[in-house]
Structure 1
């Protein structure tokens, strides 16, 4: 399932009733690379704690990053998706223990009111991950994400596209 050099992680595609997906702009005090400007947007994601099931991790991460808990499960991606961090980042991230992440992706339908979304004081008392958010067309995500995650996002878009199409009907 995982290689020991990859951090186990979950990713969440949160769809609203119109078939748009939640994206947040990563809060960062440093500029990783000026060439990456404009690619700060991503869907919620985060690590799986030891002994934690991926579905439970997805719900926890969603709450910790967005404060959202009013969701219904649409799908779980059948495969784990992996990406490598650029070498300079892998040495700084997670104390150099991982060369990238392996992710299990979930699609959820947001069932609540938008007032539930709170990226500035999210659930569980965690530090904010995002400084802005919006609903976005699923098909636009690969151009908004940091380039080293693009292939994963293209796979997620292809696998979950029908949820956007269903809502648009």
Structure 2
């Protein structure tokens, strides 16, 4: 009996930002935003890496495109790329990709930075800052395992 044929998964290179409020390190409040295109889907800002960009360049571009500011300080970077598959309900919108492989950055908003969701192509309808303990009450289900892995790493390292 032959083994089933394995198909190679196609992942989109992506960056994601865990944004801490400007009150950090005195208070640990984490930014999440609600997507326009998926009902009640809260997540971190993220986006694809263009072929001519480094992950850090993509991070700053995506933050400006999605939340209207790149006025952040990078606190830490997750040492590994992490991947996840899109659920069946999202996969058709993301063709030809099966999921994403992401580089996570922990960043802090600068004191003078303002979040503006009314960008050229708005991706989010609302945002809020939540505690580490409450974040998983809001995050969309298919991102929870990855977020847990990354947040636990930053917590273990003493950032959260």
Question: TM-score, normalising length from structure 1?
Answer: 0.79
Aligned equivalents of 2:50, 2:11: Cα separation in 1: 14
| TM-fit CA distance, 1:148 | 1.4
Task: For residue 89 of structure 1, report the CA deviation from its aligned partner.
Answer: 2.5
Structure 1: gaps (5+ residues): 32-37, 165-169
Q: Which residue of 2 aligns with 1:117?
A: 115
Of 113, 127, 131 in structure 2, the residue corresponding to residue 137 of structure 1 is 131
Segments of 4+ moved more than 3 angstroms: none
Shift of 1:58: 0.7
Larger Rg computed on CA atoms: 2
Helix, strand or coil for the counterpart of 1:86?
Answer: coil
Q: Distance in 1 between matches of 2:98 and 2:107?
A: 28
Please name the residue that 1:34 is paired with.
none
SS in 1 for 2:159: helix
Cα RMSD for the two superposed structures? 1.8
Q: Counterpart of 1:103?
A: 102
Q: Taking structure 1 as reference, are residues 88 and 24 closer, same or farther at Cα in structure 2, changes over 3 Å only? A: closer
Count of residue pairs the alignment pairs up: 147
CA change 1:23–1:73 in 2 (3 A) is: same
